[in-house]
Amino acid sequence: MASNGAVDSKTHKFNPHFTQAVINATGPKASPRVRQLTTSLIRHLHDFARENELTVDEWMAGVELMNEAGRMSDDRRNEGQLVCDIFGLESLVDEITYKLASDAADEPTATAILGPFWRKEAPLKSMGDTIVSGFDDKGDRTWMHGTVTDFLTGKPIEGAVLDVWHTAPNGLYEQQDPDQPDMNLRGRFTTGKDGKYNFYCLRPVPYPIPYDGPAGKILQALDRHPYRPAHIHFILTAPGYKPIITQIFDRNSKYIEDDAVFAVKDSLIVDFKPFQGDPKADFELPYDFKLATFEDAKKHSVAGTTEESAA
């Protein structure tokens, strides 16, 4: 027994040949990457089971949670993803995949998780349009604007597509809420030669992630709250540039230190500024996005960085 009460996998009392037998079943035609991932997955799964002397009932409860998550998932909801999110897995994989992004000033915009609420084919909008088509009288109206630039040259990027989505003031995304118009608070904007963008949205609010499924059950068992700090989601794409999936977070939002899905990074925290002189907006939100070309992204891939802010 290890000091924490768990069984040490190296000295356990179970069949010592079993895990290797399962790994050895993999055939010669499996791709090297599939072989690597599944070998590692089998080792970790088996070590997890042995170290904790996992019982059949506990394992089956896990299977039932997984199956329930799958049954709840469709094109409007991804509960399997949400379960990963509350264990920090999406944020970690985001860090691993986009390790180029860091908090340094001369780096491209940091990334953050996609989350389960993005939808394909958000409405194409013109600069200066609003993405609000419902609840427009209930939220803090916000004018967001900025420039999309190349992080190295500082030059504006033409043809960058900014895909934006956020929750309504009731804390729900439109696909969760029958009272909102389809595609409310979503839109795609394409930059011109100046790389600039601007649009109207609402100031988002903190909201609980869906609590009626396996993720909610797990949070409850863990004595954890389900809230995310107020944030706006983006996907930035541009010809020749590495796409960025990210979120920006309202500095004054509750849960900014305590995101249920561990996505907050310092460089993504922004300030909503009271705004006067525009009858369509109560707040102004200036924010610039910096992209890296595929080539630069490869060249500048950070190695050895261990100083990023903890989630």
* Positions in 223-282 near its own copies (CB under 8 A): 223-224, 258, 260, 262
Binding pattern for the stretch 88-127 against its own copies, x by CB under 8 A and - elsewhere: xxxxxxxxxxxx--------------x-------------
Q: C-beta of 300: minimal distance to its own copies in Å?
A: 14
Structure tokens, 190? 């394409």
Pick 64 or 106: Cβ nearer its own copies: 64
Scanning 53-61, 129-137, 157-165, 268-276 for contacts with its own copies by CB under 8 A, the matching segment is 53-61
Size of the site for its own copies (CB under 8 A): 90
Please report whether residue 52 would count as binding its own copies according to CB under 8 A.
yes
DSSP E strand boundaries for 2-152: 141-150
Query: Contact with its own copies (CB under 8 A): which of 1, 63, 124, 127?
Result: 63
How far from 92 is each of 26, 239, 250, CA to CA, in Å? Answer: 28, 27, 22
Q: Is 65 helix (H, G, I), strand (E, B) or coil?
A: helix
Verify binding: residue 153, its own copies, rule CB under 8 A. Answer: no
Q: How many CB atoms are located within 10 Å of the residue 126 CB?
A: 9
C-beta closer to its own copies: residue 190 or 267: 267
Q: How many CB atoms lie within 10 A of CB 133?
A: 16
Residue in 1, 8, 71, 106 binding its own copies, rule: CB under 8 A? 71
Least distance CB 145 / its own copies (angstroms): 29
Stretch that binds its own copies, among 156-164, 173-181, 218-226, 270-278 (CB under 8 A): 218-226
Half-sphere exposure of 215 (CA within 13 A, CB side): 26
Q: What is the DSSP letter of 293?
A: B
- Closer of 125 and 228 to its own copies (Cβ): 228
User: Could you say which of 1, 8, 34, 192 contacts its own copies (CB under 8 A)?
Assistant: 34
* 143 DSSP β-pair partners: 200, 284
Q: Which two tokens stand for residue 268?
A: 């993504």
Minimal distance, residue 66 CB to its own copies, in Å: 5
174 part of the interface to its own copies, by CB under 8 A: no
Please tell me the distance from the alpha carbon of residue 258 to that of residue 268, in angstroms, as a whole number.
Answer: 15
List 161's β-bridge partners, or say none: 190, 237
Minimum CB–partner distance for residue 23 and its own copies (Å): 9
Identity of the residue, 52 or 153, whose beta carbon is nearer to its own copies in the bound complex: 52
Q: Which amino acid does the sequence have at 230?
A: A
Q: Which of 91, 100, 109, 158 is nearest to 287 (CA)?
A: 109
Q: What share of the chain is helix, strand, coil (3-state, %, to 5)?
A: 25, 20, 55
Q: Binding to its own copies by residue 46, rule CB under 8 A?
A: yes
